Chain A
Amino acid sequence: MNHLLRSSAPISDAGWELLDGEARGRLTPALAARKLTDFSGPHGWDHSATNLGRTSALADAPSGGVSGLQRRVLPLIELRTDFELSRAELRDADRGADDTDLQPLDRAAHQIAVAENVAVFHGWAGAIAGVSESSPHEQVSIGAGPSVYPKEVAGAVERLLCEGITGPYGLALGREQYRAVVETAEHGGYPLLDHLSQILGGPIVWAPGVSGAVVLSLRGGDFLFESGQDLSIGYSSHDDDVVRLYIEESFSFRVATPEAAVAMKP
Chain B
Amino acid sequence: MGFDQYHEPPEELPPATRTFARLCASLTEESEALGWYEQRIAVETDPEALAIMRDAQGEEFKHFSMDLEFLMRRTPAWRAVAKGILFQTGDVVEHGEEAEAAAFDGGGEGAQGGYADGSLGIASLRGGMR
Which size bracket describes the interface of B in this complex? 20 to 34
Give CA–CA (A203, B118) in the complex, Å: 30
Contact between chains at A7 and B112 (CB < 8 Å): yes
Q: Is the CB of A205 within 8 A of B130?
A: yes
Which residues of B have CB within 8 Å of A41? 123
Chain B positions within 8 Å of A17 at CB level = 110, 114
> How would residues 100 to 128 of chain B score, 1 for a CB under 8 Å from any chain A CB and 0 otherwise?
00100011111111110111111111101
| Pairwise interchain contact B122-A6, C-beta atoms closer than 8 A | no
Binds B, one of A31-39, A95-103, A258-266: A31-39
Contacts of B112 in A (CB 8 A): 6-7
**A16 and B111 contacting across the interface, CB-CB below 8 Å:** yes
Given A31-B122, A39-B124, A230-B119, CB of A9 within 8 Å of CB of B102: no
Nearest CB in chain A: distance from B85 CB, A:
15
Q: Indicate if the CB atoms of B130 and A11 lie closer than 8 Å.
A: no
In the complex the two chains form, is A14's CB within 8 Å of B124's CB?
no
Task: For residue A38, give the distance in angstroms from its CB to the closest CB of chain B.
Answer: 8
CB distance from A132 to the nearest CB of B (A): 20
A247: min CB distance to chain B, Å: 9
Contacts of A29 in B (CB 8 A): 130
Contact A35-B125, Cβ < 8 Å, known A7-B107, A12-B110: yes
Q: Tell whether B93 is near chain A: CB-to-CB under 8 Å.
A: no
CB nearest neighbor in A for B103: A1
**Does B16 have its Cβ within 8 Å of any Cβ on chain A?**
no
Q: Check B120 against A23 for contact (C-beta < 8 Å).
A: yes
A42 near B130 with CB under 8 A, answer: no
Q: Which one of B114, B119, B121, B124 has the greatest number of beta carbons of chain A within 10 Å? A: B119
By a CB distance below 8 angstroms, the chain A residues around B115 are 230
Measured CB to CB, the closest approach of chain A to B80, in angstroms, equals 9
| Among A12, A20, A206, A227, contact of B123 (Cβ-Cβ < 8 Å) | A227
**Across the interface, which residues of A come within 8 angstroms of B117, CB to CB?**
2, 42, 44-45, 229-230, 232
B122 to chain A, nearest CB (A): 5
- Range for the number of chain A residues in contact with chain B: 35 or more
Partner of B129, one of A4, A16, A204: A204
Q: Complex: how many Å from CA A234 to CA B112?
A: 10
Query: Is the beta-carbon distance between A20 and B129 smaller than 8 angstroms?
Result: no
Contacting residues, chain B, for A11 (C-beta < 8 A): 110-111
List residues of chain B with CB within 8 A of the CB of A15. 110
Chain B residues whose CB sits within 8 angstroms of the CB of A8 once the complex forms: 107
A4 → B minimal CB distance (Å): 5
Given contacts A1-B107, A13-B108, A35-B130, contact A27 B114 (CB under 8 A): no
Contact status A203-B122, CB under 8 Å: no
Residue on A nearest B128 in the bound complex, by CB: A35
A170 CB to nearest chain B CB (Å): 9
- Could you name 17 residue pairs across A and B whose Cβ atoms are closer than 8 Å? A2-B102, A2-B106, A6-B112, A6-B113, A11-B111, A12-B110, A14-B110, A24-B122, A28-B128, A35-B128, A41-B123, A42-B119, A45-B117, A218-B126, A227-B123, A230-B123, A231-B120
Q: Point out residues on A near B: beta carbons under 8 Å.
A: 1-2, 4, 6-9, 11-17, 20, 23-24, 27-29, 31, 34-36, 38-39, 41-42, 44-45, 203-206, 218, 227, 229-234
Write the residues of chain B forming the contact surface with A, with a CB cutoff of 8 angstroms.
102, 106-115, 117-126, 128-130
